[in-house]
């Protein structure tokens, strides 16, 4: 089956046309591309229309029409714990969850609707980032707030980046020559959005993002953890709820501290000694290191620390800064291997599908760079769901 994968993120729209075989296993990429939004901007109907014009022309040029469409959807709430076929009701439910993922869910709905207009006869499947985290126990998922808020509203930890983290766990387990059911690891998906997940026996048991993707690490334009009284202070100063939302989701993070949401730009400025850039990277690295240390306890001693996502895979400086804090865990970074991984060249190391070890030989457990492939996971989930017999069949 040829599956067109649409992956709208907080800063881009990625698209892949993947060939799948053997009940869903992804075999190859027929085409791929990405449309980037300017930092801090949301996708707009005009941007999506232009992206779909480009996409449709590219598909025609390669002569391999899709047979199905798979969508990455960030927030599935309590309703969706597995991939589902897209219907009008499913689309409405995804849109209804938009307040919980303001940078993402409406973009997913726009992609679903645009794809339905372009290819009305193709089945569409929604694959949810929150699904992998449904295994988080209540004592880690609940907030210490009045019961009626938990009962009447969706106030709990959902977690995100689950598609990427689950795939990274499968690839890490294979690299370490063990079944994923025995894997305990700390997985850091670091891109424009960033989160870290505690994985025990192959299952998510805690994660840094919460009810929305705003909680947790310092991100490109998102603040991450902060005292809730900051929100009250802004509102007392006259800011509306929408204005507070915009400040914390679109004007904070690296952008607020360093003046850029792009880690490549911030990293270059930091290497040149720019104080704000150095402060921003130090803040982001310190925040992640604190979570890694805590989650190492949660999983009972990890078998690996995994960096994935655009920044996790490509910023040697950021990885170096994070691991520098983790000496008490017995971790050290090999500078040559860390910088070699940046260029996807790591001599004298075992490598499978681009996975690299960047830690020193005497580290208590390996630090790995594992390429993220959310599109592969979405294509496989889409094909597997559509291969299942329907109730009518």
**Catalytic residue positions?**
129
Cα four-point dihedral sign 135, 139, 145, 146:
positive
Residue found by looking up tokens 């260029």 in the block: 343
Query: Closest Cα to residue 36, out of 73, 3, 10, 58?
Result: 10
CA 252 to CA 231: how far, in whole Å?
13
Q: What's the token pair of residue 108?
A: 């997913």
CA 185 to CA 172: how far, in whole Å?
9
Q: What's the token pair of residue 355?
A: 């996975």
Please state the φ and ψ torsions of residue 301, each to the nearest 5 degrees: 100, 105
Whether the Cβ atoms of residue 157 and residue 213 lie closer than 8 Å to each other: no
CA 330 to CA 376: how far, in whole Å?
34
CA 104 to CA 72: how far, in whole Å?
10
Whether the Cβ atoms of residue 312 and residue 304 lie closer than 8 Å to each other: no
CA 147 to CA 53: how far, in whole Å?
48
């Amino acid at each position: 089956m040829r599956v067109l994968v649409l992956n709208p993120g907080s800063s881009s729209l990625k698209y892949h046309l993947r060939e799948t075989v053997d009940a869903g296993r992804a075999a190859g990429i027929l085409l791929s591309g990405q449309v980037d939004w300017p930092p801090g901007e949301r996708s707009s109907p005009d941007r999506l229309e232009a992206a779909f014009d480009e996409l449709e022309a590219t598909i025609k040029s390669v002569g391999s029409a899709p047979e199905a469409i798979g969508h990455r959807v960030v927030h599935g709430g309590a309703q969706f714990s597995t991939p589902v076929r897209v219907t009008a009701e499913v689309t409405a439910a995804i849109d209804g969850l938009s307040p919980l993922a303001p940078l993402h869910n409406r973009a997913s709905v726009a992609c679903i609707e645009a794809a339905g207009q372009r290819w009305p006869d193709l089945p569409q499947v929604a694959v949810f980032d929150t699904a992998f985290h449904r295994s988080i126990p209540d004592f880690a998922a609940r907030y210490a707030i009045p019961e009626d808020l938990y009962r009447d509203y969706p106030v709990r930890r959902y977690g995100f980046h689950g598609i990427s983290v689950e795939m990274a766990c499968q690839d890490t387990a294979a690299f370490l020559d063990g079944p994923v059911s025995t894997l305990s690891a700390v997985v850091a998906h670091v891109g424009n959005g960033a989160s870290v997940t505690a994985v025990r026996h192959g299952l998510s048991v805690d994660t840094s993002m919460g009810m929305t993707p705003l909680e947790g690490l310092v991100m490109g334009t998102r603040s991450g953890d902060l005292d809730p009284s900051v929100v009250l202070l802004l509102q007392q100063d006259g800011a509306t709820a929408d204005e507070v939302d915009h400040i914390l989701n679109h004007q904070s993070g690296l952008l607020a501290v360093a003046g850029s949401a792009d880690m490549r730009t911030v990293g270059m400025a930091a290497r040149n000694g720019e104080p704000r850039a150095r402060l921003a990277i130090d803040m982001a690295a310190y925040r992640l290191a604190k979570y890694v240390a805590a989650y190492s306890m949660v999983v009972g001693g990890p078998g690996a620390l995994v960096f994935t996502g655009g920044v996790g895979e490509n910023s040697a400086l950021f990885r170096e800064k994070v691991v520098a804090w983790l000496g008490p865990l017995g971790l050290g970074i090999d500078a040559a291997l860390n910088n070699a991984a940046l260029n996807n060249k790591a001599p004298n190391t075992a490598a499978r599908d681009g996975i690299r070890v960047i830690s020193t030989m005497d580290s208590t457990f390996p630090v790995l760079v594992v390429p993220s492939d959310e599109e592969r996971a979405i294509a496989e989930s889409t094909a597997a769901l559509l291969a299942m017999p329907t109730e009518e069949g």
